[in-house]
Chains A and B, each alone.
Chain A
Amino acid sequence: AQSVTQLGSHVSVSEGALVLLRCNYSSSVPPYLFWYVQYPNQGLQLLLKYTSAATLVKGINDFEAEFKKSETSFHLTKPSAHMSDAAEYFCAVSREGDDKIIFGKGTRLHILP
């Protein structure tokens, strides 16, 4: 069975500081990994995805994530936080042949002025 654990339901960073949102996955087969973002009153938007190509994946708005098989991690980073990054972030996993995406519980990112 596949699962995702996001460490920290709330993370606060100062504007301009590094953003690091943690995600660990469990999968018995090579996973596909995703980060989605949900801004207030909007749907889930794909930030980036890993599908067994490069381990460092770049997404929209300067976000990136690195797939580390040895650590079963897929942490999301951004070098410099912006006020507009305040949102809920979901890590998710899937696999070849599966229709469904399995989501983590989400991390709400707060940006401090």
Chain B
Amino acid sequence: EPEVTQTPSHQVTQMGQEVILRCVPISNHLYFYWYRQILGQKVEFLVSFYNNEISEKSEIFDDQFSVERPDGSNFTLKIRSTKLEDSAMYFCASSEELGQQETQYFGPGTRLLVL
């Protein structure tokens, strides 16, 4: 069964460093998403992406964050200058179509720790 994959599974970085989290969505999916979950808190929507541009983003997704689909298979989340409060589990998701009739399939997550 096709699945969303994410790398790395864990990332430790120093405050102020740039990190890139990578995702490979399901191959025929057109819509891509990033969510995050700070330890002990809710899973929160960050951004959705379609046709090489952001379609919706949350207040969390400020100028420190960017997303890119650099090739036909990868979808990346970049945090330009990490802060301690960026420590969280980051989930990538993809869906075939837009709209909540369509299922979003989630990856296993990348646990980011900022020291």
Given A43-B106, A44-B91, A100-B48, A105 and B101 contact (CB-CB distance below 8 Å): no
Q: A103: CB under 8 A from chain B? A: yes
How many residue pairs at the A-B interface have CB separations less than 8 Å?
61
Interface size class, chain B: 20 to 34
Interface pair A44/B103, CB less than 8 Å apart: no
Q: What residues on A are CB-neighbors of B109 within 8 Å?
A: 43
CB-defined interface of B6-48 with A at 8 Å, one 1/0 digit per residue?
1000000000000000000000000101010000011111001
- B105 CB to closest chain A CB (Å) equals 8
Interface size on A, residues (CB 8 A): 25
Q: B58: CB under 8 A from chain A? A: yes
Task: Decide if the interface of chain A is mainly helix, strand, loop or mixed.
Answer: loop
Point out residues on B near A: beta carbons under 8 Å.
3-4, 6, 31, 33, 35, 41-45, 48, 55-56, 58, 91, 93, 98-101, 103-109
